[in-house]
Structure 1
């Protein structure tokens, strides 16, 4: 009876933790979704090129390169909850800077605001992703990450739609002064979320073998002296780097792509990729690990994304935007599958490994910027060719790379 009560208590605690973490993942997606609204706004208001407008994504995601690994030391020092609260404070400062950036029509200040927002995102990602991974059994981590992914990806289109509804204009009619009120609302909400994170009942969690006294439970990690000796992790970091880049292209370019195609109300096309990803996440929740292993799910997902990439670039231009849904459908389970495959057997290096994985999110800075250059040179549709070689590497990781040890 006591074992049953203890099991029910653990289950209840896990559900509460997942609910709080779901709120965090939604916040991450919402903050990133703001960029998809800012890109066409900056392009029209500042009269800059596509490549220059995509620098806001580069500024946001470059913070992951600089602060991703140091985040592990912050988490080790102050714990998960305080790091989450710090993240929301950084988010709020970054969002506040968007207001004077618009008033001054300053691209450098916009980039600085995006970088500060990216800092908040870095620290939050460095806490919530490892936390969800080790909150339960590692072989069902992709299932938990899929649940979080639904909330995260639904938030991407919510951000531009929220801005459009509060402002009351189509994005092609908006000026910088129109964005002041919605950003003040967003700042207030994020400060409240930081307070909730600080006082929440989230327990501190540790991976198998992370404590010195339990190091023998993870003999592979016990023999290591550096995080850079885990080859399956390093290959996973590269896979995650490519994945985040192409996912950001799929999620962050739709409004701009729709506008370049001359489609009415381009902000509504922001839903195409999130719908595909949500369908993929639901499949992951149902199928993993009962019917499909995490590695097999990654193989299936990558093949789907490869087919989607080819359809986008080869289909007639007027319908090509709708095939982005296949890229998104395939990409949905990449994040949930790559994380646990790369984080397996890290033992006492788990926090460091999680932070190293967060560094890979800088792919969201470099690859969309490259997409912007390709768009300027070859057109929006042809720029999607960029996705194909990146998905091919992820397919290699799904088949072979995650198994590499020594």
Structure 2
């Protein structure tokens, strides 16, 4: 990273940016966690199929496909902080539209609201992820991403629990009209976060070789004329696409799965996946890079995820929901490891590479929707088979894919 601080100044240099960025990651997780509450609610309130209710996730994540690249252009035009502030404004508009959506009981308007919320998520992810990656040495990027991951994943179960607490009812007793008050509170908080982002003391950072006059700092990238000439990046984009889909299934289906099993207070089962993820993130903070490389960490968690997903589909249903914790544990270090492995050696193509990685988050739209169709056809437990080939590919990327250079 250009202009990296000396060792004695690093702690103070990183502390406040890490705290601020952690708040941003918490907001991302909270916004996505709302979907895990809405899916079963819409399913019962609108009397729609599982596949139709999972379109809420599809609408949220499809924004990454459309706005992933434009987000990088906006960052280049107005900078990181103003883009963060813009993202919170978009979040607030999306959350506001949930209120008339509930009043009109309109699935279409819910999907529009989710899409606009997804736009906010796209712009925020496009800023905070590359920022965290290049804020310090690339070798320790997974450590920083793990810290961000804890803030992000703890927010997922807090969202449905917050909605349940404010409404005062279990999700299977809630009507759409009951969601007005919690969304008004959420809108106010997100607008305040937008102001915080605008005023935040975040330093400007750039990746090695990102400046045109410093291309020699990254000889591999200096020989390239297009971002499409980095095979390890393209394979990483596919890995991230698949991973986000699998992670969204592990995080976003628990309330729905618990309800399908007729378990009491299904919203409380939303904690199963985040517990596994936080445990993995803590391990990443402690072990990477001193004891474990990013590629080896990815290899280990891929194996854990494969075993966990097989246990979910092969054990008795009442037990299987608890094995999602191993799927989540496996997912924990995938994002922190895939992102820096794919972004290594991009030089002046760093922003373009980041755009492709952000676009890959659309996996969270397509794969959970596939899960919904499989659930309708073969049942909730069998639908988790969708994750097995995903984790097998990520295992390949850990073993060989990230090393490919041409």
The two structures have a TM-score, normalised by structure 2, of 0.98
Q: How big is each residue's C-alpha offset from its partner over 1:296-323, in whole Å with a ceiling of 9 and x where there is no partner?
A: 0000000000000100000011110000
Change (3 A) 1:292 1:7: closer
Q: How big is each residue's C-alpha offset from its partner over 1:370-391, in whole Å with a ceiling of 9 and x where there is no partner?
A: 0000000000000000000011
Q: Name the residue aligned to 1:222.
A: 222
- Give the alignment of 1:67-86 within 5 angstroms: 67-86=67-86
Alpha-carbon separation, structure 1, partners of 2:346 and 2:6: 28
Q: Name the residue aligned to 2:291.
A: 291
Q: Name the residue aligned to 1:385.
A: 385
Alpha-carbon separation, structure 2, partners of 1:11 and 1:350: 25
Q: Name the residue aligned to 2:173.
A: 173
Q: Name the residue aligned to 1:271.
A: 271
Q: Name the residue aligned to 2:118.
A: 118
Alignment partner of 1:202 is 2:202: yes
Shift of 1:8: 3.6
Alpha-carbon separation, structure 2, partners of 1:397 and 1:45: 42
The answer to which of 259-268 and 208-217 deviates more is: 208-217
- Give the alignment of 1:6-405 within 5 angstroms: 7-405=7-405
Alpha-carbon separation, structure 1, partners of 2:240 and 2:214: 29
Alpha-carbon separation, structure 1, partners of 2:218 and 2:18: 26
Gap runs ≥5 in structure 1: none
Alpha-carbon separation, structure 1, partners of 2:7 and 2:84: 27
Q: What SS does structure 2 have at the residue aligned with 1:202?
A: coil
Stretches of 4+ moved more than 3 A in 1?
5-10
Change (3 A) 1:196 1:316: same
Alpha-carbon separation, structure 2, partners of 1:166 and 1:20: 26
Q: What SS does structure 2 have at the residue aligned with 1:70?
A: helix
Alpha-carbon separation, structure 1, partners of 2:8 and 2:109: 51
Alpha-carbon separation, structure 1, partners of 2:287 and 2:26: 23
Q: What SS does structure 1 have at the residue aligned with 2:69?
A: coil
Shift of 1:10: 3.8
Alpha-carbon separation, structure 1, partners of 2:41 and 2:317: 23
Q: What SS does structure 1 have at the residue aligned with 2:291?
A: coil
Change (3 A) 1:400 1:6: closer
Alpha-carbon separation, structure 2, partners of 1:7 and 1:387: 42
Alpha-carbon separation, structure 1, partners of 2:97 and 2:380: 30
Shift of 1:214: 1.4
Q: What SS does structure 2 have at the residue aligned with 1:206?
A: coil
Shift of 1:11: 2.6
Q: How big is each residue's C-alpha offset from its partner over 1:55-87, in whole Å with a ceiling of 9 and x where there is no partner?
A: 000000000000011211111111100100000
Alpha-carbon separation, structure 2, partners of 1:7 and 1:280: 27
Gap runs ≥5 in structure 2: none
Alpha-carbon separation, structure 2, partners of 1:213 and 1:368: 44
Alpha-carbon separation, structure 2, partners of 1:71 and 1:132: 17
Shift of 1:176: 1.1
Alpha-carbon separation, structure 2, partners of 1:7 and 1:287: 20
Alpha-carbon separation, structure 2, partners of 1:105 and 1:248: 25
Shift of 1:145: 0.2
The two structures have a TM-score, normalised by structure 1, of 0.98
Shift of 1:6: 5.5
Alpha-carbon separation, structure 1, partners of 2:36 and 2:355: 26
Q: How many residues align?
A: 402
Alpha-carbon separation, structure 2, partners of 1:122 and 1:299: 28
